[in-house]
Structures are given as structure tokens and as C-alpha cells.
């Protein structure tokens, strides 16, 4: 056999597509058109290795987090992104607000154009049971509809049988009768059966389901120590991505609370196999601050120098404080150039940790 030389790292420019939405990693089985943008460039990269999107068509995503960590807003931002992404023009968009707590002011956060698109395309519904959700999935499957479906959240759903048994047990206790057994396992059994039509519908029509799960304890943003969630085994098994979100603090201006700092850890990633952690701020007025988080990334990783308060954003030909850079990027419509710079920087970091071993076979 001829000895094979170790693989060498290719030069960075050859690995990056010089386009506004640069593809950072080449995965033949997945293209930019297969990905749903999350609204966060860093989360897109953490999930797919690409700036174009995070979550893959035909797959289920599980977003897990404690209260006020940004799960619902992230899901809503995915739907808003889909409204303006040509790859999802034919898709039906659903937000299943089981908790009844989705009252984001889309107009104030994203503007008149986004609000009009949401009114036209996003259907807000509320399933009352696991069985009702299952019926919706089966209907979508029968119609062969392409869809993005947000379930917020799974924890609030219960089965019809469980509700009936709970009512019976309550009546028994009120009558002083002894109550035995548990109805908790019924929901777990139902959800396993539920995922079958959901997965079948997704695979057949290139659709996406995002299931939100509430943790039963606060996640430590430093360690991301795993907490429990309902139907944990079933969700872990069927999900293509499992993203854990943690509230890492507050964003303040003049001592007034104006937002939340969120940490995201991709704990399960069947697309790239990589488990990455990123952060971004969520402001009550604008949602996810993609520009600000990208600037922070470039500074933290040393790609942009910051002597004192001034940041030297050489990729964009800009210099100034973070707030000044944000204003100039928005005014000059340099968001795509920023994403391209972040994509190249992310690739360089990934290249630096590659083993660069020769092919085994």
C-alpha cells in the first residue's frame, strides 16, 4: 500500500464562499436552502457551521431552558426569519401557544413590515391536549403541507385520559376515598406515539418542528448542569438539535432593566456533531441583538482589537465604540458584511482545533 501523507489545512480563503451569506462548512448532504435561520448568526454557526441558518428541514428541534431565558422569543424570531427567507415561501407557519403567554409586540420589536408578514402568514393556535396536537400533525401529514411548527410548550400539554383521571382522583379525595396509582406515565406514553406522525410529516414535506421545554430548575449559565424536563428520553432521542438556554444576567441602561443576557449551549447536534456554546443579548425593543453579539464575538476571540473603548473593525473599515459600530453598521447596511466576517472568524477558530490527522482508510 502507498503511504498516505497527513491531511493539511487548506488556506482559509479557499474554504469560505465569498458571498453575503458565506457558507462556512461544506456538508454535501446539507445546503443553505435546507436551513432555518434563528435570528442569531452565532447560534446558526453553533448548530450548522453556517451563517445561513441553524435548524435543518425534516428535523425536530428541542429548546430547553429556565424561565425568561429567551426560548419563546427565539422561536418567534425563527418564524419571522422564515417570513423573509425565500426557501420557506411555500411553508405554513404555526405558533402553538399552549401556555397562552405569547404576547410579543411584533410591530414594536421588528417593525411594520414584519408585523404585516406575521399577520399574513403566522397562525396562532392553542392545543389543549397531546391528542389535539397529534391530530394537527396527522392533518398536516395528510395534506402533505410544508410547515414550521412551534410548540410552546410541551410541558403544559396533558393527555385527555390524564385529565379525566386527575378529575376522578380529585373527586375521590374530596369524598375521603383512598387514591392510588399515577396518571403521569400516560403523557409519556402518548408523546412517544405522537412523535411518529410528527416525524413522518416532517420527513415527507421538508418541514420543521420546534418543541419548547421548560426546565424544573434554573440552569447555571457557567456549567449548564443538566436539569430534568418532561418526556426527556423521547425528546432527546427524536430531536436533531437540543439547545439549552440559560439566563446569564440582565442588560441595563442607566440602572433600568432593558433586556436579558442569554447563553445557548448546543448539547446535541446531529448535523455537525459539535457541541458549541454562544451568547447573545435579547432586548425588549428589538429581540435578539445579532449585531451586538457578533461584535462581542470578534472582540472576545481577538479578531478585532479594542484598545480602551475603541474597537478596530478592520473587516468593515470601521472604528469606534461598540454602540458607534452598531449605528454605522445599520446605517451603512453592513449586516451581511458583518456576518461574512464572523463566519470566516468562526471557521478559523474551528480550523485551529482540528486534529488534522491522515485519513484512516
Bridge-based pairing state of the strands 256-269 and 277-283: antiparallel
Yes or no: say if 95 and 80 are a contact pair by the CB < 8 Å rule.
Answer: no
pLDDT of amino acid 95: 96
Under 8 Å CB-to-CB from 3, ≥6 apart: which residues? none
The dihedral through the CA atoms of 356, 25, 313, 275 has a sign that is negative
Write the burial class of residue 142 (CB in 10 Å: 0-12 exposed, 13-18 middle, 19+ buried).
exposed
The CB density around residue 234, as the number of other CB atoms within 10 Å, is 18
pLDDT of amino acid 12: 39
Question: CA–CA separation, 59 vs 241, rounded Å?
Answer: 8
Q: Which of 111, 193, 115 is nearest to 159 (CA)?
A: 193
The dihedral through the CA atoms of 248, 157, 240, 31 has a sign that is negative
Query: Which residue carries 445546503 as its cell?
Result: 31
**Hey, which bits of the chain come out as E strands?**
35-36, 55-56, 60-65, 92-97, 122-125, 147-152, 208-214, 241-253, 256-269, 277-283, 287-288, 311-313, 318-320
Q: Which of 183, 182, 191, 185 is nearest to 157 (CA)?
A: 191
The CB density around residue 18, as the number of other CB atoms within 10 Å, is 8
pLDDT of amino acid 22: 46
Question: CA–CA separation, 16 vs 49, rounded Å?
Answer: 11
Question: CA–CA separation, 230 vs 36, rounded Å?
Answer: 25
Between the alpha carbon of residue 183 and those of residues 21, 25, 131, 134, 163, the distances in Å are 49, 47, 15, 19, 9
pLDDT of amino acid 58: 94
pLDDT of amino acid 178: 64
Per-residue pLDDT of the chain (361 residues; tens, 9 = 90+): 444 444 443 333 333 333 444 444 444 478 999 999 999 999 999 999 999 999 999 999 999 998 888 999 999 999 999 999 999 999 999 999 987 777 889 999 999 999 999 999 999 999 888 888 888 988 998 999 999 999 998 887 775 455 555 555 556 556 666 655 554 555 566 666 667 777 888 888 999 999 998 886 656 666 666 565 555 567 778 899 999 999 999 999 889 999 999 999 999 999 999 999 999 999 989 999 999 999 999 999 999 999 888 999 999 999 999 999 999 999 999 999 999 999 999 999 999 999 888 888 9
Question: CA–CA separation, 18 vs 353, rounded Å?
Answer: 23
pLDDT of amino acid 26: 46
Query: Which residue carries 443553505 as its cell?
Result: 32
pLDDT of amino acid 102: 77
pLDDT of amino acid 11: 38
Amino acid at each position: 500500500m502507498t503511504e498516505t501523507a497527513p491531511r493539511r489545512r487548506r488556506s482559509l480563503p479557499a474554504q469560505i464562499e465569498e458571498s453575503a451569506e458565506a457558507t462556512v462548512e461544506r456538508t454535501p448532504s446539507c445546503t443553505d436552502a435546507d436551513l432555518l435561520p434563528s435570528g442569531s448568526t452565532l447560534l446558526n454557526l453553533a448548530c450548522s457551521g453556517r451563517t445561513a441558518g441553524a435548524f435543518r428541514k425534516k428535523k425536530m428541534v428541542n429548546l430547553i431552558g429556565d424561565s425568561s431565558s429567551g426560548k419563546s422569543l427565539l422561536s418567534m424570531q425563527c418564524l419571522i426569519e422564515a417570513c423573509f427567507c425565500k426557501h420557506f415561501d411555500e411553508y405554513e407557519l404555526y405558533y402553538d401557544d399552549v401556555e397562552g403567554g405569547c404576547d410579543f409586540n411584533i410591530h414594536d420589536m421588528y417593525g411594520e413590515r414584519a408585523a404585516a408578514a406575521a399577520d399574513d402568514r403566522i397562525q396562532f393556535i392553542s392545543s389543549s391536549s397531546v391528542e389535539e396536537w397529534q391530530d394537527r400533525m396527522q392533518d398536516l401529514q395528510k395534506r402533505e403541507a410544508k410547515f414550521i411548527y412551534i410548540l410552546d410548550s410541551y410541558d403544559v400539554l396533558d393527555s385527555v385520559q390524564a385529565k379525566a383521571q386527575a378529575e376522578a382522583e380529585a373527586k375521590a379525595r374530596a369524598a375521603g376515598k383512598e387514591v392510588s396509582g399515577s396518571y403521569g406515565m400516560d403523557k409519556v406514553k402518548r408523546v412517544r406515539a405522537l412523535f411518529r406522525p410528527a416525524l413522518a410529516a416532517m420527513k415527507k414535506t421538508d418541514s420543521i418542528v420546534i418543541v419548547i421545554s421548560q426546565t424544573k430548575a434554573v440552569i447555571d449559565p457557567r456549567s449548564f448542569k443538566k436539569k430534568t424536563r418532561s418526556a426527556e428520553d423521547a425528546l432527546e432521542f427524536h430531536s436533531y438539535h437540543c439547545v439549552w438556554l440559560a439566563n446569564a444576567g440582565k442588560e441595563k441602561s442607566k440602572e433600568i432593566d432593558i433586556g436579558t443576557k442569554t447563553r445557548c449551549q448546543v448539547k446535541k447536534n446531529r448535523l455537525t456533531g459539535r457541541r458549541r456554546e454562544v451568547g447573545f443579548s435579547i432586548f425588549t425593543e428589538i429581540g435578539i441583538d445579532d449585531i451586538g453579539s457578533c461584535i462581542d464575538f470578534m472582540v472576545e476571540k481577538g479578531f478585532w482589537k479594542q484598545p480602551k473603548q475603541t474597537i478596530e473593525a478592520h473587516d468593515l473599515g470601521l472604528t469606534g465604540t461598540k454602540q458607534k459600530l452598531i449605528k454605522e453598521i445599520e446605517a451603512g447596511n453592513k449586516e451581511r458584511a458583518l456576518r461574512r466576517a464572523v463566519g470566516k472568524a468562526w471557521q478559523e477558530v474551528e480550523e485551529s482545533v482540528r486534529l488534522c490527522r491522515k485519513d484512516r482508510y
